[in-house]
Structure 1
């Protein structure tokens, strides 16, 4: 445990040094500036008041120059106390420190059993879960990880709650080894919130209060990691890896379509529930309802275009890839497409018919009610269909030999099929996603643009489409600029050319 492997891009400042002036350099600590394992050691040193010279660099520098001599096997952090040298395992380093520097013990005698149990849980369950959420981009496992994370939050919340009345630390009145183990990885939840949209909910009040109090702990502030720097590192890692890109792209399209479909169903539900006598008495309400009704064809048209292009992408790219490995794998999905297409086209025709009817008439009310029924059927079928694909078809792509590299090739084919969705409809597609999902989707396009010489202008095209979109999509462009700075750079360069 403890060998830090977090990826930090080369643009980071190369060396960070801190030396206590009262010490001649007996104790040294070498490691990665963003490594949470190194941070554990630094927290313990701060708590014990041990004078130490700390030298932190980016990972690329850990394997070169003097650092290669410090740790020939490449394991970090490296802790050196005179002739005693330990590397890689923070467990071993912390155990040595507890035995050697006995002032301010991290495991008080009355807390040994409780502390050991919590350290084991945080080390063996919570820590690898946080790491996997940050660095395993496989979209097929994220839902399972989300459930596990909430289970972990609940367990930590219960543990803190048992001692909350005694003090602000995990076990109450004293800063212990449990705090040393949990704080660096609890801080990473902010990064997970940014990239995954997962956060510590108010249903875990003790954990929320503890996390807020951490910034006041005397041992924490001097070793606090720059979260913004870590966000940049994680973002760079994601773009470089782009795991299972066609699977991720497909699932994100599913999410967007379902969000837009849910919004449209809610809108038509509201319009169908309006009583004619109410709008007859209220001219402002009648005008508002009329405006919303007139907007139905355009809104459903956008949704229909996205759904149909998505279905074509699956039929032309994903399903043939699956059937190459095992003919017939896509049969059930194709049946769903054949079932839903007439429903979608029927709804479009029904909406056109509604536009020709007098608002508030009995025929108008009846037609709206019928559209609501058909929309709910479409929504139920679409949810079931997408979930089945994500459970049963998409996981088989990798087994069929379509790993990350081959899927990268499929992404370009996807863009060719979904030309409208990645043209003027792109802002609409992205509007159905959360900020972290927008970043994931644009990250796929960014990676394709950087890796594929046939699409060098892709990012410029994307930035132009988003920046020139209607005002209703301004939020999408703002997120894109903040989360994928390359887009804003391309746009600025094009404007200045």
Structure 2
């Protein structure tokens, strides 16, 4: 299933989960599957309420199957068997924790005494979502190449038709759409850093962000080249030698992009973002910087918001909602959640 806002019928079928080394990787909001041993929880609330969204993510973190019914209920109401509970966000979280103790619900508070500057947390969470989507695109391209232009059957096998992707040509178009969404997210994130974060650091010590700016410039041709490659594949005959070679090359370029992005994100989080803390921004200044960051990334926080959240773990998504809430702009929050609801109803 997708994240708790997503419409499963719309999601293209990702490639099989790859073998991972070391500890198993935690799953994002687009991969978590409810545990069968939990009874379905009914949740009633406004689909454009941050309160309701927060509770939906909390339930998803617990692996609880949720049946959401849009309503005017404010605050939201939870129904578990014969029990019906409503109240503040904290009281509902406490109820969920007592009812479903595992895994523990530990949400990092953005306004705690030891919390990092809000824009630093925002940037790191965006890195996580973009990394997950880049990894997913790579797995998907490798799967397409391995199938050699053959359709994906239900459950990933060869029998039947997977209605989420359709014919091979339809699947390539869906693949291209997903990459275009990732590309827009990557470009908006880079613009946010260049217009908001880097000027703050450069005003304190010119040259801190020189290497990061150069990395952005090097990545752009790679990202645009991949988009053109996908367009070219769309007109090739499925399964032809040219088709197979094109997908093989595409997978290599996606792998290269993923490696560059991971390296760049780690370098930023270790060598650049910590300097934000050294600027000792006041809370009003932090709020202004946060608002500017959200304003620059308009597409990410509107029509792409559902796509963006799919790349986050439920607890990370809850923290991201907290950050947006720091702006004290209910209209902005409602608009973002409304876009999610509309995308699911298309």
TM-score range, shorter chain: 0.5 to 0.7
State whether residues 290 and 359 of structure 1, in contact with CA within 8 Å, keep that contact through their aligned partners in structure 2.
yes
CA distance in 1, matches of 2:107, 2:171: 42
Q: Which has the larger radius of gyration?
A: 1
Partner of 1:445: 324
Q: Give the distance between the partners of 1:272 and 1:265, measured in 2 at CA.
A: 11
| Match of residue 255 from structure 2 | 376
Mapped pair 1:267 → 2:140: yes
What whole-Å deviation, never above 9, does each CA across 1:222-258 have from its counterpart, x for those lacking one? xxxx9816979x9999365475210111000000000
Residue 228 (1) aligns with residue 94 (2)? yes
Which residue is 1:94 aligned to? Answer: none
Q: In structure 2, which of residues 327, 330, 333 is the aligned counterpart of residue 459 of structure 1?
A: 333
Q: CA deviation at 1:398?
A: 1.2
Q: What is the Cα-based RMSD across aligned positions, in Å?
A: 3.4
* TM-score (norm. length: structure 2): 0.63
- The alignment status of 1:252 with 2:125, answered yes or no, reads yes
Q: In structure 1, what is the equivalent of residue 280 of structure 2? A: 401
Equivalent-residue separation in structure 1 for 2:262 and 2:291 (angstroms): 26
Counterparts of 1:92-111 in structure 2, within 5 Å, are none
Q: Which residue of 2 aligns with 1:389?
A: 268
The reply on whether 1:414 has 2:293 as its aligned counterpart is: yes
Q: For 1:393 and 1:255, how far apart are their aligned partners in 2?
A: 17
2:151 and 2:111 mapped to 1: Cα distance? 57
- Where structure 1 has 5 or more consecutive residues not aligned to the other structure, the ranges are 1-146, 148-193, 199-225, 450-454, 473-497
Could you tell me which residue of structure 2 aligns to residue 188 of structure 1?
none
Contact 1:397/1:403 (8 A) holds in 2? no
Q: Is this contact kept in 1: 2:110–2:118, CA < 8 A?
A: no
C-alpha separation between the residues in 1 aligned to 2:325 and 2:97?
17
Distance 1:379 1:283 in 2: 32
CA contact (8 A) 2:129 2:312 kept: yes
TM-score (norm 1): 0.45
What's the offset of the Cα at 1:369? 1.0
For residue 458 of structure 1, report the CA deviation from its aligned partner: 1.6
User: Is the CA contact 1:261–1:379 (under 8 Å) kept in the aligned structure 2?
Assistant: yes
Decide whether the 8 Å contact of 2:132 with 2:311 is kept in 1: yes
Q: Which digits, 9 at most, give the CA deviation of each residue in 1:257-286, with x for residues without a partner?
A: 00011111100011112246899xx78579
Cα distance in 1 for residues equivalent to 2:170 and 2:257: 24
Q: What's the counterpart of residue 307 of structure 1?
A: 186
Q: CA deviation at 1:442?
A: 0.6
C-alpha deviation, 1:456, in angstroms: 4.4
Q: Deviations over 1:374-395 (max 9, x none)?
A: 1111000000000100011001
Distance 1:265 1:230, change over 3 A: closer
Cα distance in 2 between the residues matched to 1:403 and 1:378: 36
Distance 1:271 1:230, change over 3 A: closer
1:180 corresponds in structure 2 to: none
Distance 1:471 1:276 in 2: 30
- Structure 1: how far apart are the matches of 2:295 and 2:120? 17
C-alpha distance in 1 between matches for 2:178 and 2:161: 20
Q: 1:293 maps to what in 2? A: 172
Structure 1 residues 72-471: aligned runs within 5 Å: 228=94, 238=109, 241=112, 243-275=116-148, 288-402=167-281, 404-449=283-328, 455-470=329-344
Query: Deviation at 1:295?
Result: 1.0
- Contact preservation (8 Å) 1:260, 1:303: yes
**Structure 1 contact 245–404 (Cα < 8 Å) conserved:** no
Q: Against the structure 1 CA distance between its residues 275 and 424, is the aligned structure 2 distance closer, same or farther, given a 3 Å change threshold?
A: closer
Contact kept in structure 1, 2:107 and 2:318, CA below 8 Å? no
CA distance in 2, matches of 1:377, 1:395: 27
CA deviations on 1:319-352 (whole Å, 9 max, x unpaired) are: 1111111100001111110110000000001100
Contact 1:330 1:393 in 2 (8 A): yes
Q: Give CA-to-partner distance per residue, 1:95-128, whole Å, 9 cap, x none.
A: xxxxxxxxxxxxxxxxxxxxxxxxxxxxxxxxxx
In the alignment, structure 2 segments of 5+ residues that lack a partner are 1-22, 24-57, 63-91, 99-104, 153-157
* Higher relative helix content: 1
